[in-house]
């Protein structure tokens, strides 16, 4: 692990050396130009892939994982003839709706098996308190008898999981971001769910009672790297649940992000999450943002939505509460936990 951390400057230098003819573009007032539409889509998830111990694997292993995932994606569209079995999980999407990326994450040319680089287990290092809050909010998120109990992504308030961040993490689809800069501000339009992060350069924190959905972000430049400090998260944004990752971030956790453009086709993104109550240690992650083809269009989420009455009717038809509801959750886990095409179990075998 120490070798990987110490080698980061060398990895960045190697990427710069590979683009000798490229010069860092700058805005008219001198700041590095990060503008454009970027994507962080990747097969690699936040935490280490099951059955794999190493952070960095070989190119051959990475290609095998990519080929395996392509096979699983093809299986999603391979439905049996006849009627689908009633009362069983059959999946929520076909591949026309999915865009998780087709490649394992590569940082500085190294194929990675997790976004987390520290600790070297590749896992979020929860304290007992953090672990209890994580599981309690996860369990509560499965009880959806009322509109207010739906996940924020289902309610179209913010995107699923931590796609809006910070940290900004990839999910199953809509992994695009539009960066726009002006003197004193950097804006990041998050495709899911049409949220905009406003980063105030050398700004002052908002009053303590104000807690935006994506936190309060203050930025500054360290050389050519944009450093962003974010805290004061909205209380309903503590549990960030998505199929590709589930994460608990406290209301007063602090996320430090570093954006460094190291080539025409690449932004190196690093983050550190700190909260002594929730985590045993600060934990770190790295991602690569690459250009995304095309523009980001309106994320029309609830317009014409006829699903919510059906969701509520189904929940109420079950008529279960308390212990019966908890027992049902244990013996019938949510789709993202055990569905073979959607859960990380597709990587259970080491290549």
| Residue 103 clears pLDDT 90, i.e. is over it | yes
What's the predicted TM-score (pTM) here? 0.85
More confident residue, 185 or 100: 185
Burial tier of 299 (Cβ tally within 10 Å: 0-12, 13-18, 19+): middle
- The helix/strand/coil state of 341 is coil
Encode pLDDT of 232-241 as tens digits: 999 999 999 8
More confident residue, 304 or 156: 156
Share of the chain above pLDDT 90, in %: 56
More confident residue, 13 or 146: 146
Q: Report how far residue 252's alpha carbon sits from residue 156's, in angstroms, rounded to the nearest whole number.
A: 24
Encode pLDDT of 21-77 as tens digits: 899 999 999 999 999 999 999 999 999 988 889 999 999 999 999 999 888 888 877
| Residue 11 clears pLDDT 60, i.e. is over it | no
Q: Report how far residue 256's alpha carbon sits from residue 66's, in angstroms, rounded to the nearest whole number.
A: 31
More confident residue, 98 or 247: 247
| Residue 284 clears pLDDT 70, i.e. is over it | yes
Identify the band that residue 332 occupies on the pLDDT scale cut at 50, 70 and 90: low
Burial 275-285 (b: 16+ CB within 10 A, else e): beebbeeebbb
Q: What's the whole-number average pLDDT of the chain?
A: 85
Identify the band that residue 201 occupies on the pLDDT scale cut at 50, 70 and 90: very high
Encode pLDDT of 136-180 as tens digits: 888 887 777 778 888 888 888 899 999 999 999 999 899 999 999
Average pLDDT over residues 235-248: 91
| Residue 8 clears pLDDT 70, i.e. is over it | no
pLDDT at 3: 44
Residue 151 has, within 13 A of its CA and on its CB side, a CA count of 19
| Residue 308 clears pLDDT 90, i.e. is over it | no
pLDDT at 19: 52
| Residue 280 clears pLDDT 50, i.e. is over it | yes
Enumerate residues 6+ apart whose C-beta is below 8 A from 160.
151, 152, 153, 171, 172, 192, 240, 241, 242, 243
pLDDT at 333: 57
Taking Cα atoms as reference points, which of 341, 274, 325, 40 lies closest to residue 179?
A: 40
pLDDT at 142: 73
Give the single-character DSSP code of 38. Answer: E
- What are the two backbone dihedrals, phi and then psi, of residue 2, each rounded to the nearest 5 degrees? -60, -35
Catalogue all structural domains in the chain, each as residue range(s) with its CATH number. Answer: 25-38+121-291 (2.40.128.20)
């Amino acid at each position: 692990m120490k070798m990987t951390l110490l080698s980061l400057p060398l990895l960045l230098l190697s990427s710069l050396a590979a683009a000798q003819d490229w010069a860092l573009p700058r805005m008219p007032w001198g700041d590095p130009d990060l503008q454009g539409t970027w994507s962080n889509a990747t097969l690699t998830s936040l935490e280490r892939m099951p059955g794999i111990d190493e952070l960095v694997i070989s190119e051959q292993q990475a290609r095998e994982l990519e080929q395996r995932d392509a096979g699983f994606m093809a299986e999603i569209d391979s439905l049996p003839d006849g009627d689908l079995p009633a009362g069983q999980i059959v999946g929520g999407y076909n591949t026309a709706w999915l865009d998780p990326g087709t490649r394992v994450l590569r940082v500085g040319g190294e194929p990675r098996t997790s976004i987390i680089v520290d600790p070297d287990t590749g896992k979020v290092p929860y304290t007992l308190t953090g672990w209890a809050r994580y599981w309690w909010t996860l369990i509560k998120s499965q009880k959806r008898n009322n509109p207010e109990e739906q996940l924020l992504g289902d309610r179209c308030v913010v995107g699923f999981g931590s796609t809006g961040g910070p940290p900004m993490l990839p999910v199953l689809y809509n992994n695009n971001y539009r960066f726009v800069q002006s003197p004193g501000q950097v804006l990041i339009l998050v495709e899911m769910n049409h949220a905009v992060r406003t980063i105030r350069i050398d700004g002052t924190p908002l009053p303590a009672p104000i807690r935006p959905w994506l936190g309060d972000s203050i930025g500054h430049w360290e050389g050519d790297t944009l450093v962003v400090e974010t805290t004061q998260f909205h209380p309903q944004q503590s549990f960030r649940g998505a199929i590709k990752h589930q994460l608990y971030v406290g209301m007063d956790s602090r996320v430090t992000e570093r954006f460094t453009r190291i080539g025409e086709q690449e932004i190196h993104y690093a983050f550190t999450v700190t909260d002594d109550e929730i985590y045993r240690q600060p934990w770190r992650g790295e991602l690569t943002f690459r250009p995304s083809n095309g523009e980001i269009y309106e994320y029309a989420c609830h317009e014409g939505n006829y699903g919510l009455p059906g969701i509520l009717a189904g929940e109420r038809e079950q008529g279960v509460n308390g212990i019966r509801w908890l027992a049902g959750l244990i013996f019938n886990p949510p789709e993202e936990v055990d569905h073979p095409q959607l859960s990380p179990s597709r990587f259970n075998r080491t290549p």
